[in-house]
Amino acid sequence: GEKKKKKTVTEKYWDWELANETKPIWMRSPKEVTKDEYNEFYKKTFNEFLDPLAHTHFTTEGEVEFRSVLYVPGMAPLNNEDIINPKTKNIRLYVKRVFISDDFDGELFPRYLSFVKGVVDSNDLPLNVSREILQESRIVRIMRKRLVRKTFDMIQEISEGENKEDYKKIWENFGKLLKLGCIEDAGNHKRLAPLLRFYTSKNEEDMISLDDYVENMAENQKAIYYLATDSLKSAKTAPFLEKLVEKDIEVLYLVEPIDEVAIQNLQTYKEKKFVDISKEDLELGDEDEVKEREDKQEYNLLCDWIKQQLGDKVAKVQVSKRLSSSPCVLVSGKFGWSANMERLMKAQTLGDTSSLEFMRGRRILEINPEHPIIKDLNAACKNDPSSTDAKRAVDLLYDTALISSGFTPDSPAEL
């Protein structure tokens, strides 16, 4: 038979080889990832040279699924423009592991948490996601809520940890922003308040939390007392403190400009009201009514006489319950600004001077019935009400009280 023709056929096979074995860090289980790997990832992703102060890695499931790794940076940005500038590029948004953008911080985090850096990877958002979609999206609202809650958990864990230095660093770098949160985010007051730290009349070296303050309170103390000034030094020497220190009542010192507004926004903590000790009607809870009545009668004439001397400078003159060593003090009306607030408002660039007059609040001169100068004045006003020395003494007392109570005299040169 004929020989069969043989044909050589070459067949090609494609063999695929996987080039990148590594899974992104947020896709791995948090148990497998070491702290060093988290720190390494943070430094590479965000061009940082310091290790982060804290990190959290979590997956949320349910109606909205996303994975995230968040960090608290090692230090605050050197200039504060991050607070003003919402374009921080701190949160990298991925959809199904594809990097989409780092421009959406403002949609995923409130302004006061803009310092948090990290990665968020969502399975539910469309790949062509835009700012309009994010602003409308219910998914994003839920993500934002979870991200904020996880951030609080991460910071709170450090604040309750053994090592006090760790939280001290967070507070030094980002404390101002957390106080901003008290002003801007009323819904999270319960989470923010325990994170705050203040100096007090009993802790001038180390800051304490509001929890520490409440724990140390005497049983009959009904309120949390605070004093707002421009520095620790002036807080320590303020005449408002005298009686409270004598009675061993702790007072919070609010020495940063934002503090007073933050505390006023909180209003209460653990059902205890915040009370400004530089305002009128200070109740310390153990008043001796008989003595008060006697003092009031005894000094009634003097109060009227001083008021007459000072005219419109003060709304009224009354006997004080808060002094022990100073002759007198100038307190603010209940509804006006405190001396500290007035100082800050005057310093505002775009401040409106007409509202200054309106909000200035009434000033009330309180005199200390135990003080020798006041006793001498009382005698003088009864014996010789038109004496020029006595009148000069009143002006001097008023000017002294003005300065020691933290107000700014209108014309310092005349003092």
Summarised one tens digit per residue, pLDDT across range 344-364 is 777 776 666 666 666 666 788
**Predicted local confidence at residue 364, as pLDDT:** 86
- DSSP-derived letter for residue 162 is S
What mean pLDDT comes out for the span 142-146? Answer: 90
- Considering the domain architecture, whether residues 44 and 174 belong to the same structural domain is answered as yes
- Considering the domain architecture, whether residues 242 and 307 belong to the same structural domain is answered as no
What mean pLDDT comes out for the span 360-388? Answer: 81
pLDDT confidence of 107, banded at 50, 70, 90?
confident
**Predicted local confidence at residue 152, as pLDDT:** 93
- DSSP-derived letter for residue 198 is E
- Considering the domain architecture, whether residues 182 and 53 belong to the same structural domain is answered as yes
Domain contains 4: no
**Is pLDDT at 52 greater than 60 in this prediction?**
yes
**Is pLDDT at 315 greater than 60 in this prediction?**
yes
Instruction: Put the strands of the sheet holding 208-209 in their side by side order.
Output: 208-209, 197-200, 251-254, 223-228, 272-276, 268-269
Residues 232 and 215: their CA atoms lie apart, in Å, by 23
Residues 284 and 290: their CA atoms lie apart, in Å, by 16
Q: pLDDT for 72-101, tens place per residue? A: 998 877 665 555 555 668 889 998 888 888
Q: What is the CATH number of the domain that holds 384?
A: 1.20.120.790
Q: Hey, which residues does 208 pair with through a beta bridge?
A: 198
Q: What is the CATH number of the domain that holds 206?
A: 3.40.50.11260
Domain contains 35: yes
Residues 125 and 133: their CA atoms lie apart, in Å, by 9
Domain stops at, among 167, 194, 221: 194
**Choice between 125 and 157, residue whose per-residue pLDDT is larger:** 157
**Cβ within 8 Å of residue 159, ≥6 positions away:** 167, 170, 194, 195, 209
Domain contains 1: no
Domain that holds residue 330: 282-414
- Considering the domain architecture, whether residues 40 and 176 belong to the same structural domain is answered as yes
For residue 279, the Cα-to-chain-centroid distance in whole angstroms is 21
Closest CA to 110 of 146, 148, 140: 148
**Predicted local confidence at residue 146, as pLDDT:** 92
Domain stops at, among 228, 246, 277: 277
**Is pLDDT at 243 greater than 90 in this prediction?**
no
- Considering the domain architecture, whether residues 217 and 188 belong to the same structural domain is answered as no
306 is written with which tokens? 């001083």
- Considering the domain architecture, whether residues 260 and 291 belong to the same structural domain is answered as no
- Considering the domain architecture, whether residues 181 and 202 belong to the same structural domain is answered as no
pLDDT confidence of 193, banded at 50, 70, 90?
very high
**Predicted local confidence at residue 136, as pLDDT:** 78
What mean pLDDT comes out for the span 300-306? Answer: 85
Look at 69-73, 74-78, 272-276, 306-310 and tell me which has the smallest mean pLDDT: 74-78
Residues 412 and 351: their CA atoms lie apart, in Å, by 22
Q: How far is CA 328 from CA 250, 369, 402, 408, in A?
A: 22, 9, 10, 16
Domain contains 15: no
List helix spans (H) across 185-267.
189-192, 210-216, 232-236, 242-246, 257-266
- Considering the domain architecture, whether residues 336 and 259 belong to the same structural domain is answered as no
3-state secondary structure of 179: helix
Average pLDDT, the chain: 84
**Predicted local confidence at residue 86, as pLDDT:** 55
What mean pLDDT comes out for the span 268-294? Answer: 81
**Predicted local confidence at residue 79, as pLDDT:** 64
**Predicted local confidence at residue 108, as pLDDT:** 87
Domain stops at, among 232, 252, 277: 277
Closest CA to 371 of 323, 301, 330, 303: 323
Domain contains 72: yes
- Considering the domain architecture, whether residues 190 and 264 belong to the same structural domain is answered as no
- Considering the domain architecture, whether residues 287 and 270 belong to the same structural domain is answered as no
**Predicted local confidence at residue 151, as pLDDT:** 94
- Rounded (5°) CA angle 139-70-161: 125
pLDDT confidence of 222, banded at 50, 70, 90?
confident
- Considering the domain architecture, whether residues 155 and 61 belong to the same structural domain is answered as yes
Domain contains 6: no
Domain contains 17: no
pLDDT confidence of 186, banded at 50, 70, 90?
confident
Only one residue has tokens 């790997």, namely 37
Residues 276 and 341: their CA atoms lie apart, in Å, by 12
Domain contains 108: yes
% of residues, the chain, pLDDT over 90: 17
The number of distinct structural domains making up the chain is: 3
Q: What is the CATH number of the domain that holds 125?
A: 3.30.230.80
- Considering the domain architecture, whether residues 164 and 272 belong to the same structural domain is answered as no
pTM: 0.81
